[in-house]
Each structure stands twice: as C-alpha cells, then as structure tokens.
Amino acid sequence: MVRRARSLARRAGRPVVDLARSHTTVSVERATLRLAGLGGADHENIPWVNHLVDAVRDGVGLEHGVALPVWDALGRDVAPDLTTLAQKAAAGGVDFRVPEGAARTRAGRSSRSAVARGIRAIDSQRRRRDRLITRHGDPAATPWIYLIVATGDIYEDIPQAQAAAREGADVIAVIRSTGQSLLDFVPEGATREGYAGTYATQENFRLMRAALDETSKELGRYIRLTNYASGLCMPEIATLAGLERLDMMLNDSMYGILFRDINPIRTFVDQRFSRQIHARAGIIINTGEDNYLTTADAVEAAHTVTVSQLLNEYFAKEAGLEDWQLGLGHAFEIDPSIPDSFRLELAHALLARELFPEAPLKWMPPTKHMTGDIFRGYLLDGFFNLVGAMTGQGILLVGMMTEAVVTPWLSDRDLALQNVRYVLNAAGGLAEDFHPPRDGMIQTRARHVLAEAVDLLETILADTDGAGDPPLLAAIADGTFGAMRRPPTKGKGLDGVVRRAAGYVNPAIDLLESGATR
C-alpha cells in the first residue's frame, strides 16, 4: 500500500515538474541576479533586482532568461557592474538585446562565472554550519524544540530569541510580517516595524544568525534559525537564506496556492528553484500540511494531509533534497470533544512517522480548538507534547496556552517550554515501548487513512490521459486540499510567469542541477 501511494504521488507530481521546467518567473530571474551579487534598493526601497528584471522584460522579454541580456550589456560596456546597470536601466537608459553567436557565448560564460560565486558562497556557509555543529554540538535528543518570535522589530526579536534558546529552544523561527508573502519584492535592510511578525530581509537574517551564533557558543549547542521561503519571492528568500546560513525554511509546495491565492504555476516554478537552493545549502524544509486542518476537519480530511506529504516528498527529492531535510508537516488539530480524539491523533502521527521514517517530521500544536481558556490550552499542549514523544517526531513546535488570545509574553513561552521539558523528560523514550496492537483502533485508523489517501491519488489521476491541465492542478482547482479552489489561470503573480523559449539560459539552474561550482 505504501509503495502504491508513492508511485501514485510520482505520477501526479511529474507533469507539474515538467511544467516547472518549461517556465520561469520574475522571482527566479531576480534570485539569479542576487546570486551574482546584485543587492540594494533605490530611495523608495524598490530592490535593484526588480528594476533590472523589469527593464529586461520590457525590452526583450524573459523567455530567454535575464542572464544573456544582462551580461551582454555588461560585455558591451553599457555599465561597469550590475548595480550601475540596474540604475541606468531603471532610468530607461539601456537597450537590451538577446545576443547571438560569439556575443551569446561570452554572455553565457560571464553570467555563469558571476552566479557561480554566489553558489560557492552558499557552499561555504554550509561548511561553516557543519564546523559549528561539530564545535558546539547538536541538541542531546530529538525532537528539536522549535519556538517562535515575532515582535515586528528585529532588535526586539534578538533578545527574545536568545532568551528562548537559554530556556531550552533548539530552533528559533522568526515569523514574517503579515502579508509579506504577497509582496513581489524583498524589503531591504534591518526593519523595526511589522504586523504580527518581522519582515524577512537579508540584513535581518544576518543579524539574527550572528546573535544565535553567540548564543550557540554560550550554551554549547548549535541553535538553528528558521524563516519563510514562501510567497511571491520564494526563490529570492531561499537564496538569501542560503547566503546568510539559515538552517530551516518553511517551504510547502501548495501553501501559497491554497492560503495566499498565489497562482499555482507561479508557485510550482518558484518552489522547485527554491528547493534546489535549499538542497545545495543543506537547509531543512518545513512543509505546511498543518494549515489544511485549520480550514478542513482534522478527521475527515486526514488523508489529504498524507497525500500532501507524499507530494511534498516527491517534489523535494526531485529538486535534490535528502530525507534528513524533509520536515514534513502535520498537526494536533482534532476537536478534543470528539471521543477518542487522543487515540486518533496518535494514529495520524504514527502513520506519518512510519511513512517517512528518516524524515524529521514537524509536529504542530493545537490552534483551531484553543478557546482562550489557558488552563485547558495548557493541558491540550501537554497532550500534544506526549503524542510527539510517543511517535518520535523530529521537530516539535512549542504550543502556547495563550494561543488565540494574545501574542505570547516571555513568561508564556517560559511556561510552554516547562511543559515540553516535563513531558520529554518523563516520557521522551516512550516511542521504543509504544507498539499498538494490529487490530486495535490506532492501527486500524492508520490503515484507513492510508487507504483513503491512495483512493484520493487514484481519483486525482483518473484524468491523466485526458487533455488540459495536469491532474494535480485540476484537483487543486476543484478544492481537494484545504477546501480551497485555486484554478491555474488565476491567482496573484500570474503575470510574473513566462514560458521558456528554446534558447533559455539560467546559469543558476545549470549549476544547481549539475552540482558544479564553476
């Protein structure tokens, strides 16, 4: 049954990969320029990569990629460097062309050399992470304790993150400001204002990574840093994360489609490039299946989580990620008033663990059924922590008793960490003793959910031989996942999708797919 499920997921995913291989997006092209060293922004905080990609698109289109026109212009001495070229292009002072013959060869060679420097910088950061883990050590045991900070002000986030690490957190996640996923540019510099989160910028990444490096040295264990590679700038944020040595990134194949109404084709093209960057950088991805259960019933829709996990696994491995980088998501979101809710949660969590035995699964705490009763919430979080211990989850996000009430205080986080520590100290080894009987409720439920997942994949593929969109895109349009209907011809960012021409060139993709450094 498991082999059948994976085979069906591959069949559903392969046409979407083909679609991603035949298209590019404005964000993929901007990420390529960022790898070549182009950064900064104008006086209105519009990044130079946006100006340059927009100018190339207006001049000759993006069907051949941005690399050939840009490095052809540099080769013609239109400007001495990328920043100056972007500034001149923003003022309308550059006539771009798609070069041919010897000029094309020179532009291709020069662009590859420039982008390769960025790839080597990512390689260097990966080696530095390995050295620091060897020097400081990893957490003594799993699951890694994952805790969120989100003040909006990076200079307030830093001391909160350091305090959380001192209290036992192994992974610090800096939540992005609400709505950043819908910005088609990456803000510049350190930011001190954000709503329900802090903007993801290269400088904010650098500041937090440096602070956590100091704390890692102090504590004698390497503290990992997480942010979000999702939304309209997924490839660029993934690139910046690799350059600044982030360790985990939220990166789901369908989250932006379902919950941010981003165009499906844009999302699948962008996520493939971003995952290639993550693979090269040694970054662990966190997928977003937990979100499905905030809009759909956690019992009735349990099989859609399994299907999404299988698809995320296929897309991730196709892009080069390894099992240890697959932080596949799921959540403790069953209505606690349902009889046997705890046993059902155990069944779903154990199914995920047995389907993906080498993956560091990311286990998410209750949110949908948190009522504001902090005592009930604290107990629910304890049950959530217990399921994590009993089923060997790899990454455990700390639940907050004040969920749905306030942004957590430091004292709330301290109490939440005490809850986690108690459960893991008391029952951390319970996974080795927990073997539910084959004919009991837990195993029976797990087999039922897996069978429903296989049925759903077969239903999705029923139209494989027909004309039109890939079956997975048709299923997304029909509201199969998270009860959201998202057709491939609509959604934010569609105007940033471009079908590649026969002569398309992107040195970043070439280097990432070949594993080359030059």
- SS3 for 192-225, per residue? CCCCCCCCCCHHHHHHHHHHHHHHHHHHCCCCEE
CA distance 318 to 512: 12
SS3 506: coil
Residues facing residue 492 across a β-bridge:
262
* 136's tokens: 């400081």
CA distance 77 to 242: 31
- 445, 344 in Cβ contact below 8 A? yes
Known catalytic residue at 88: no
- 65, 504 in Cβ contact below 8 A? yes
- 384, 293 in Cβ contact below 8 A? no
Strands 171-174 and 284-286: unpaired
Known catalytic residue at 255: yes
SS3 336: coil
Residue 194 CB contacts under 8 Å (≥ 6 apart), including other chains = 151, 152, 153, 176, 177, 178
Return the DSSP state at 356: S
Peptide bond into 143 cis (omega under 30): yes
CA distance 184 to 26: 9
Task: Show the beta-strand stretches assigned E in 197-336.
Answer: 224-228, 248-250, 284-286, 326-327, 329-331
The one-digit pLDDT tens for each residue of the chain (518 residues) are 999 999 999 999 999 999 999 999 999 999 999 999 999 999 999 999 999 999 999 999 999 999 999 999 999 999 999 999 999 999 999 999 999 999 999 999 999 999 999 999 999 999 999 999 999 999 888 899 999 998 999 999 999 999 999 999 999 999 999 999 999 999 999 999 998 899 999 999 999 999 999 999 999 999 999 999 989 999 999 999 999 999 999 999 898 999 999 999 999 999 999 999 999 999 999 998 888 888 889 999 999 999 999 999 999 999 999 999 999 999 999 999 999 999 999 999 999 999 999 999 999 999 999 999 999 999 999 999 999 999 999 999 999 999 878 778 888 989 999 999 999 999 999 999 999 999 999 999 999 999 999 999 999 998 654 457 899 999 999 888 877 899 999 999 999 999 999 999 999 999 999 998 98
**Phi, psi angle pair for 300, to nearest 5°:** -65, -35
Residues facing residue 24 across a β-bridge:
498
Task: Report the amino acid identity of residue 182.
Answer: L
pTM over 0.75: yes
* 192's tokens: 């001190």
Residue with tokens 């036992």: 168
Q: What is the pLDDT of residue 465?
A: 47
Catalytically annotated residue among 146, 199, 222, 255: 255
Return the DSSP state at 361: -
Catalytically annotated residue among 252, 292, 362, 492: 362
Burial of 17 (0-12, 13-18, 19+ CB in 10 A): middle
CA 103 to chain centroid: 38
Closest CA to 174 of 145, 195, 154: 154
CA distance 200 to 197: 9
Catalytically annotated residue among 72, 247, 252, 290: 290
Residue 476 CB contacts under 8 Å (≥ 6 apart), including other chains = 254, 257, 258, 264, 486, 488
Closest CA to 507 of 31, 26, 101, 96: 31
Dihedral over alpha carbons 439, 443, 445, 450 (to 10 degrees): -120
> Where exactly are the structural domains of the chain?
142-228
H/E stretch holding 50 reads: helix 48-60
Strands 326-327 and 284-286: parallel
Residue 37 CB contacts under 8 Å (≥ 6 apart), including other chains = 82, 114, 117, 118
Q: What is the pLDDT of residue 410?
A: 80
Q: What is the pLDDT of residue 464?
A: 53
Known catalytic residue at 146: no
Closest CA to 259 of 324, 192, 319, 329: 329
Residue 407 CB contacts under 8 Å (≥ 6 apart), including other chains = 150, 151, 196
Q: Is 418 left (phi over 0), alpha (psi -120 to 50) or beta?
A: alpha
CA 310 to chain centroid: 16
